[in-house]
Structure 1
């Protein structure tokens, strides 16, 4: 058996993968399925019966449920076994995040606690810090919150004004400042706080609620996620023991960025779960609601909505579990008994920082689309709080802002890729240069007969189009490219579509190899629709980008090459969507 080669982060834009190398949700082990079922049972039996009360922001009830989640093991997935956790793989912890999403605001309370609240200590804590805090955080005896945003700094995290000053005897730091929009602040025991030592060295501290000078401001009145706590944290001459410094002075930005990577990924898995729920609610309602003497599910435009909701959710699911698989592969060589295991784990996950951002942007925008169409299918009832789709719609909006806005992430995606190329970690520029001579040659017409063969060709062409546009941008702007935010955003959207297309395609191919074409019909049809529509999007983005980069004869030459690269057959997506819709309507749930 050939040795498995680790995938380099961002390499999907230049390399073609064998479908056997990707992880899909169709590959789950029996143990992973049990973890997913345990989470789903907890939500159904413990959370949903008191869901309305949680939504009223009942601290005591939320804490009680958090403790129960800890007892079941749902808070310790990412914490090593030796420290009271389960030490699960990333696919398993992704299943927990996805299944918890049905719990609405409570899922956010859990997510903030287990992700950005606990992971800084898991990855960057000293052995003493881990022993002191992680067992209680894993059991739900104590709850964590992450404190990065300030009244004057959101996306510009390094512009924080909170300060930390070491005492003369070196025994403690004195923290002053305020943090804003802190999830779980109303009841959290442990705060991961970012502050500048001597006003300049961005650093991270573990602050306890009981420390003198720590106070919590009033709850924010929010558009959605109303059952989660969101308050300011105020620090006035708080004496934090020197041993509560996390990692080293001046390393706070590395902790923040590494933790945001996993936070972005976990957000995408939550969006996946919420999208599936919205599809189920919408399909059930469409079958029950009658107009003109028949259920509205029988109307083709309603079916089209359900099909498109299902297709995008299928693609998101394929991306999320592919990315979880990449992380697990990256973490597989780490000796988790080593004192450096935490930092090494964070570094292994950071390898896929770009993919985490892609998941976050795509996932949050898929959920917004699915929730919006879900409300539309419900009609006037979708605007009434009695129907859960109304809450899903309101709750979804924050995801495009959380964990770095989608605009910031769109700048990070190509920015990270180019930085990796400049460092020699990825042969991106060499591939772009090699492509130049190839692009000037005619692209002959091709005939495709096998299942998904043309879709495979289109994914390959999409990568060439991205390299052409990206290469032109780098060549023209060089170091000033970061100032061309519109072009960077177009390149990011092309990368997002490529990762999405390829994830859906590889998953479908893997399923065909296991089950055959007949049993994979729905995946094949969803993949075909998405690849063709995404390819059209990429063509449009490339035209916009090239028109911004080039002028005159060079632009005409580039657009002529683009036309050759975008030759394709026409596809009856109307018929394909009708077939997909029929399966969703019959099942009354997400169908893959």
Structure 2
């Protein structure tokens, strides 16, 4: 894919406007990329969906068999170089394929663990010998991979791991001892990426094969959802691996663990997007079929609200996912141009947009939770029945707010990373923050703006919402200085403001760009979607901002900040009810998620 648009920095959305022509939208995907997406959708529909009950019952060899078929179709090798049997396609394509498998319930969990956290550490950090040994088999589906980081005593605190590695006296092997838990694909993996501390200190990655002596597995975990995925404990008891099994640099295991998570987070959002579309389609179909009071329930306003709101949130997070995905791809091209290897370039690009990856992980998983929850409600009593599809969708969605770092951790990480970029001079936060402080002391400008083009007023509103974020974040930094990390409630308020503004802006820019091509009439309901989402975002930013200001300040300072927040979150009333009805009518007529 040719990459020509303007390069932006991660987190820069808070301080700079973006031109609609500089964002990538799903309409920009090529025919080849859409074919890859369709291949993934067809695979889930024909191969996975008919087997869901059997998968949930852990029928021996069933999930591995499906994974092998996916490998044969080339779905594992989308972003793997051709020399290892892959297709060497760009990052947005890998997101599109991940979205395609997202509606497969437990299958995308196995798929994502294999293609992401199991394969990518070897691709990005492995020696040439390690890549040649493992990647062709992992790409084709002959080998299956798993990733062993979490331990009973260390979840979010990954560096608190207690698994040890000790070099043998002859210097030829390491002996690993420890226990890993919640290991996806554990029951059928051939290759495990394992993290251990050499001599109890140096956090390091290792490649451990299933056949290495001393590796054993616990029983399958009994889980609330994603029952079809294999989740086991992995025990390492005097597990002997050759010295050549060290992955990356000794003592630098954290670089593997944390860099791979950036990519994993945005890919999780893409999988949640696919699952959300599937659940929304089920909701529309059922609402059209279910008759009450002699009418399909899709005729009722309360149901129309739910169908429309599902679509609004899905469309909005989709806009943000592919905007960020292409920003990562553009940064990758920039780093390649500076002489970095493909591995260094993609990792560096994902690290640059770690803020957006964290934001999208939160928003993607919470949109899916909303969609399936309302799906259960639309199905009514049948939604609570295991004989209907929303039961599984509801249970399977819940893990996504815990996977890849909990949503609470990701919220705090997003704010922390933005502030650190400011301190390092990578983002000019100080200038815009000071400008906002000066604006608070000035007389408000009540002048109108001459620009009445599509979304001109909405983008002015987005600009004001960004000022609200800078005002609240700037106050928090001044108040708490080095102890800000302890004020988790305030950090989460700021994160929620940023998440909603990034998503709202992404939606507006997408619709603005596509309307420039197709015309406003053809994009009428997408325009409705963008405006309803922004209307709710204004209210959300006001709410989160008030909570933070009330907890940090008092007296005159509080009054001044509250007035500033009111100014920055002021927007005209918008008739969201009628807009939602128009959106719902499109869905009802199409009998599926149609945007």
TM-score (norm: length of structure 2):
0.97
Which residue of structure 2 lines up, in the alignment, with residue 91 of structure 1?
92
Residue among 567, 589, 593 paired with 1:590: 593
The answer to whether the 8 A contact 1:127-1:339 is kept is no
Which residue of structure 2 lines up, in the alignment, with residue 48 of structure 1?
49
The answer to whether the 8 A contact 2:329-2:349 is kept is no
What 5-or-longer segments of structure 1 have no aligned partner? Answer: none
The answer to whether the 8 A contact 2:67-2:141 is kept is yes
Matches within 5 A, 1:180-579: 180-335=181-336, 340-445=341-446, 447=448, 449-579=452-582
Deviations 1:166-204 (A, max 9, x none): 122221111100000100000100111111111111111
The answer to whether the 8 A contact 1:440-1:561 is kept is no
Instruction: Kindly state the Cα deviation for residue 337 of structure 1 after the two structures are TM-superposed.
Output: 13
What SS does the aligned partner of 1:332 have? Answer: helix
Instruction: Kindly state the Cα deviation for residue 446 of structure 1 after the two structures are TM-superposed.
Output: 5.0
What SS does the aligned partner of 1:442 have? Answer: coil
Distance 2:363 2:49 in 1: 28
Distance 1:339 1:418 in 2: 27
Of 174-183 and 236-245, the range deviating more from structure 2: 236-245
Instruction: Kindly state the Cα deviation for residue 467 of structure 1 after the two structures are TM-superposed.
Output: 0.5
Distance 1:427 1:333 in 2: 21
Distance 2:432 2:242 in 1: 51
The answer to whether the 8 A contact 1:469-1:542 is kept is yes
Distance 2:10 2:429 in 1: 12
Instruction: Kindly state the Cα deviation for residue 340 of structure 1 after the two structures are TM-superposed.
Output: 4.2
The answer to whether the 8 A contact 1:120-1:259 is kept is yes
Of 458-467 and 4-13, the range deviating more from structure 2: 4-13
Instruction: Kindly state the Cα deviation for residue 479 of structure 1 after the two structures are TM-superposed.
Output: 1.1
Which residue of structure 2 lines up, in the alignment, with residue 166 of structure 1?
167
Instruction: Kindly state the Cα deviation for residue 47 of structure 1 after the two structures are TM-superposed.
Output: 2.2
Which residue of structure 1 lines up, in the alignment, with residue 139 of structure 2?
138
Of 432-441 and 300-309, the range deviating more from structure 2: 432-441
The answer to whether the 8 A contact 1:443-1:565 is kept is no
Distance 1:28 1:342 in 2: 24
What SS does the aligned partner of 1:204 have? Answer: strand
Distance 2:504 2:156 in 1: 29
Which residue of structure 2 lines up, in the alignment, with residue 148 of structure 1?
149
Which residue of structure 1 lines up, in the alignment, with residue 40 of structure 2?
39
Deviations 1:50-84 (A, max 9, x none): 33222221241211211111111001112111111
The answer to whether the 8 A contact 1:455-1:532 is kept is no
Query: In structure 2, do the counterparts of structure 1 residues 378 and 156 end up closer, same or farther at CA, with 3 Å as the change threshold?
Result: same
Instruction: Kindly state the Cα deviation for residue 273 of structure 1 after the two structures are TM-superposed.
Output: 0.5
Distance 1:273 1:17 in 2: 27
What SS does the aligned partner of 2:510 have? Answer: helix
Distance 1:341 1:101 in 2: 27
The answer to whether the 8 A contact 2:104-2:275 is kept is no
Deviations 1:472-499 (A, max 9, x none): 1111111111111111010110110111
Deviations 1:82-122 (A, max 9, x none): 11111111111111111111221112111110011111011
Query: In structure 2, do the counterparts of structure 1 residues 265 and 3 end up closer, same or farther at CA, with 3 Å as the change threshold?
Result: closer
What SS does the aligned partner of 2:522 have? Answer: helix
What SS does the aligned partner of 1:103 have? Answer: coil
RMSD (Å) for aligned C-alpha atoms: 1.6
Query: In structure 2, do the counterparts of structure 1 residues 451 and 343 end up closer, same or farther at CA, with 3 Å as the change threshold?
Result: closer
What 5-or-longer segments of structure 2 have no aligned partner? Answer: none
The answer to whether the 8 A contact 2:103-2:276 is kept is no
The answer to whether the 8 A contact 2:290-2:296 is kept is yes
Instruction: Kindly state the Cα deviation for residue 566 of structure 1 after the two structures are TM-superposed.
Output: 2.2
Query: In structure 2, do the counterparts of structure 1 residues 475 and 231 end up closer, same or farther at CA, with 3 Å as the change threshold?
Result: same
Deviations 1:380-439 (A, max 9, x none): 000111211111000000000001001111110100101111111110122211221123
Of 567-576 and 213-222, the range deviating more from structure 2: 567-576
Instruction: Kindly state the Cα deviation for residue 341 of structure 1 after the two structures are TM-superposed.
Output: 3.2
